Amino acid sequence: MTDQPSKLPIATPNPQMIWVAGFAAVAILAGLFGTQYIQKPAPVAGDTKLEQAIEAVRSGADQTALSALTPLATSGNSKAQYWLADMYENGLGVTPDPKKAVELLGKSAEQGFVPAEQHLGELYLQGDQTLQDFGQAELWLHKAAVAGNGTAQRELGRIYDLGLGVPRDPSMAYGWYENAALHGDGLATTMRDDILKHMAPADAAKGEQDAKAIGVDIKPVDIKPVAS
């Protein structure tokens, strides 16, 4: 009689051997199928055309840019609409047409293109290219501001600082200036510091609270300007 089991125990696999075998299997599969997964997707033709058109605008080749941007904008490309609006606003290769520029910016902004939201809000705030409309200015600047656009945040601060279409609210102005400053807007830093000089301690404390509340709603983004 023996205390040993009647059958030999099942050998415990060597972990190192399992790893080697697994790696070999992955290598074989990668050789058979991996190429289609690791290759970068080919550039979309529309994106390439847009990049070329934008480069044409920047280099001063207005007619080339106009010819390339117009069909893209007509097809609904929000970036093309934004850049074509810039051409009509500034008369680059075309007769200046503020109405057309605002129309194109509106189409781009309605698709959520942040630079268009910002600039459309600024145009309504200034009233140079279109009728001044503080309500529309606040609407579009707010959309761009919560998307992380520092310039829009600063301009919202100015709206509350000066009471443009809204009751004057130094604490809320401070809150927007502070968030714009945190997003790297140097002018907003100056405006924040200036308004702080004229605020009572209680108002300054409320301004800090407003800044934190505003910051909660702002989408985290890279400090670099939004690509346009």
87 confidence band (pLDDT: 50, 70, 90): very high
Query: Which alpha helices (H) appear in the chain, and where do they start and end?
Result: 15-29, 35-38, 45-59, 62-74, 78-90, 98-110, 114-126, 134-146, 150-162, 170-182, 186-196, 201-217
Same domain, 202 and 106: no
Residue 5, in any domain of the structure: no
Same domain, 97 and 133: no
pLDDT of residue 146: 97
User: Which residues lie closer than 8 Å to 100 by C-beta, 6 or more apart?
Assistant: 85, 88
Same domain, 146 and 196: yes
Same domain, 70 and 137: no
Same domain, 137 and 212: yes
Q: For 27-77, how does the pLDDT look when each residue is reduced to its tens digit (9 = 90+)?
A: 444 444 443 433 444 445 568 999 999 999 999 999 999 999 999 999 999
- Please indicate whether residue 42 or residue 130 has the higher confidence score (pLDDT): 130
Same domain, 128 and 223: yes
Query: Is the pLDDT confidence value at 13 over 60?
Result: no
pLDDT of residue 46: 60
Residue 41, in any domain of the structure: no
Query: Is the pLDDT confidence value at 127 over 60?
Result: yes
Same domain, 69 and 154: no
Residue 93, in any domain of the structure: yes
If one counts the domains in the chain, the total is 2
Q: For 151-209, how does the pLDDT look when each residue is reduced to its tens digit (9 = 90+)?
A: 999 999 999 999 999 999 999 999 999 999 999 999 999 999 999 999 999 999 999 99
CB 128 within 8 A of CB 162: no
Least confident piece of the model among 9-13, 87-91, 178-182: 9-13
CB 139 within 8 A of CB 118: no
Q: For 204-228, how does the pLDDT look when each residue is reduced to its tens digit (9 = 90+)?
A: 999 999 999 999 999 876 444 444 5
Residue 214, in any domain of the structure: yes
Residue 25, in any domain of the structure: no
**Domain assignment of residue 146, given as a range:** 120-228
SS3 state at 85: helix
pLDDT of residue 34: 45
For the domain that residue 146 is a member of, what is the CATH number? 1.25.40.10
pLDDT of residue 32: 41
Same domain, 91 and 139: no
**Closest by Cα among 180, 200, 198 to 189:** 180
pLDDT of residue 25: 47
pLDDT of residue 128: 87
pLDDT of residue 173: 97
pLDDT of residue 221: 61
Same domain, 169 and 148: yes
Mean pLDDT, range 80-98, rounded to an integer: 97
CB 117 within 8 A of CB 109: yes
pLDDT of residue 204: 94
